[in-house]
Amino acid sequence: PAEPAKAKVLKAGADAAFAPFEFQDEKTKEYTGFDIDLIKAIGKQMGVEVEVQNINFDGLIPALEAGNIDVLISGMTITEERTKKVNFSKPYYRSGLSMVVKSDNNTLKSFKDLEGKNIAVQIGTTGANEAKKIKDAKVREFNNAPEAFMELKAGGVDAVVNDLPVNEYYIAKTGSKDAKIVGEPLNAEEYGIATAKKNTELAEKINKALEELKKNGEYEKIYMKWFGKKP
């Protein structure tokens, strides 16, 4: 008798410390979040099983280049520099950078107030790049966003520069009373799903699946689940 065909596996990399996009559920220990639901739905659409690997943000593109993962989805902003190394899907989420300060801080109100200040960021991110452009700012890089927030809480820095939806989730969902978002977002950014340069076939399949999920309402369902509003 013929052997049953084995389900193909799509290895997806994410830095699972970036709620609500990718994080570890405290109870089940499973990786969860908007990105995780989205890549699983994309996998289902493609008829493959998705296996999520937790990799530090600055190690994600190298892991893709080395072929250790097939795809990466990690709240990653589509940038010109990254586009030289990987293929990005069509944008799947509109984001932007914002700043977080301690609740009792009444002097830092916008990005221009960050000149000469101590700022915590996540290593290898657009937030890190932008913070470094601020005049005389001392930028300290952490492995992930929660560590940057912890440093703010501990009083080691004046502000955290990080993606707005993640800042909002941190403050709302973790019930953090000691931090607040101030000012307008610095910019607009778009997240993309990345694949290796040479794997153009996979990039096409992902775009197709994403388009399908947008048409059939599945994308909106996932968006509603995590953000409580329509995309």
Q: Stretches 3-11, 74-82, 134-142, 170-178: which one binds ligand GLN (CB under 6 A)?
A: 74-82
Verify binding: residue 18, ligand GLN, rule CB under 6 A: yes
Q: Give exposure, 45-82, as e/b (b: 16+ Cβ within 10 Å).
A: bbebebebeebbbeebbebbeeeebbbbbbbbbbeeeb
Verify binding: residue 122, ligand GLN, rule CB under 6 A: yes
Which stretches does DSSP call E strand in 3-105?
9-14, 17-18, 22-24, 31-32, 49-54, 71-72, 86-88, 93-95, 97-102
Distances 107 to 133, 159, 182 between C-alpha atoms, Å: 20, 11, 10
Verify binding: residue 15, ligand GLN, rule CB under 6 A: yes
Verify binding: residue 167, ligand GLN, rule CB under 6 A: no
Question: Out of 74, 89, 98, 207, which residue is the one contacting ligand GLN (CB under 6 A)?
Answer: 74
The 125-164 contact track toward ligand GLN, x by CB under 6 A, reads xx------------------x-----------------x-
Beta carbon of residue 60, minimum distance to ligand GLN (angstroms, whole number): 8
Verify binding: residue 98, ligand GLN, rule CB under 6 A: no
Question: Out of 57, 88, 169, 170, which residue is the one contacting ligand GLN (CB under 6 A)?
Answer: 57
**10 Å Cβ neighbour count for 83?**
13
Q: Stretches 5-13, 27-35, 73-81, 201-209: which one binds ligand GLN (CB under 6 A)?
A: 73-81
Q: Measured from the CB atom, is 73 or 218 closer to ligand GLN?
A: 73
Q: Measured from the CB atom, is 76 or 100 closer to ligand GLN?
A: 76
Q: Distance (Å, rounded) from C-alpha 26 to C-alpha 8?
A: 29
Verify binding: residue 34, ligand GLN, rule CB under 6 A: no
Q: Distance (Å, rounded) from C-alpha 17 to C-alpha 82?
A: 21
Half-sphere exposure of 188 (CA within 13 A, CB side): 3
Closest to 77 (Cα-Cα) out of 93, 66, 62, 64: 93
Verify binding: residue 89, ligand GLN, rule CB under 6 A: no
Site residues (CB under 6 A) for ligand GLN?
15, 18, 57, 74-77, 122, 125-126, 145, 163
